[in-house]
Chain A
Amino acid sequence: MNKGKSMKINLNNKEVSMAGESFSVRELLNLMHFTFPMIVVKINGRLVKKEDYERVFIGDGDNVEAIHLISGG
């Protein structure tokens, strides 16, 4: 990520400003303190599979939905 650049994303219906130009899904989840191991992540409505968290990137204006999947049923 470049210093001085910033981006805004919509994360779970809230606008979030971040320093940087793009983040991988994995980086974003770490930054946003998603702590449980299983998470559903959708970017602009499309599901990102867990195996793709390192190679899919989030940029300015993206709509991100991330919800924990918690054991128990």
Chain B
Amino acid sequence: MKSKLEKLKGTCIGIAGCGGLGSNCAMALARAGVGTLVIADFDTVTLENLNRQYYFLDQVGQKKVAALQENIRKVNPAIDVQIHDVRLGPDEVVNIFKNCRLIIEAFDRADMKLMIIETITERFPDKFIIAGSGLAGYGENNALRTRRLGNLFICGDETSEVSETLPPLAPRVGVVAALQANQALEIIMDDLEPSVGDDVWDE
């Protein structure tokens, strides 16, 4: 087990978005002992975030990346947390995450999820990406799962969309964030091989 933990220490993981998925996933990876975390988000902590995101009352108004870095350091100051206060597009994704072994997709919007999946698959076909899809509401424990499509893993129930009547709540958001973190650990500790030829269709 010791050598596997050493692997974690030597690994860099990128986290795209520091909301419900990203903040909880980052804390799980930090506690597990991942050595380097590259976190990116443009947003600020609000009161409404506190029902599910890993921030505290006294952090309302702070930039999420700065607040999350502070929270990770409170758990383990030895972790290298690199922060990027930026709105991510394809170019930023490439530049910011180029040194990461795998990337956690933790955006809110579905079009952003597709953007990062397309960008990583096209530009870094050997990197793994672990996305979240479907986490709103409560209950339905066993609908939350992980599916693998080559170097892409998708965690969630793939159906429940956030809406006025179906808000994101801490337990299900936390479960999906933990599924993403757990999948990352398996990739690193068990040295999962990237799928060959797993790139973008180009006729």
Beyond known contacts A55-B203, A71-B109, A72-B20: 15 more, CB 8 A cutoff? A40-B114, A42-B150, A45-B198, A47-B198, A65-B149, A69-B110, A69-B131, A70-B110, A70-B158, A70-B159, A72-B108, A72-B161, A73-B19, A73-B106, A73-B132
Total number of residue pairs linking A and B with CB closer than 8 Å: 105
User: What's the Cα separation between A43 and B160 when bound, in Å?
Assistant: 25
Cβ-defined contact, A72 with B135, below 8 A = yes
Q: Taking the complex as formed, is B134 at the interface, i.e. its CB lies under 8 A from any CB of chain A?
A: yes
Q: Taking the complex as formed, is B162 at the interface, i.e. its CB lies under 8 A from any CB of chain A?
A: yes
Cβ of B39 to closest chain A Cβ, rounded Å: 14
Cβ-defined contact, B22 with A73, below 8 A = yes
- Chain B contributes a number of interface residues (CB within 8 A of A) equal to 43
Chain B residue numbers with a CB within 8 Å of A42 are: 149-150, 152
Instruction: With CB as the reference atom, state the residue of chain B lying closest to A44.
Output: B197
Q: Taking the complex as formed, is B199 at the interface, i.e. its CB lies under 8 A from any CB of chain A?
A: yes
B136-168 near A? 1/0 per residue, CB < 8 Å: 100000000001011010101011111000001
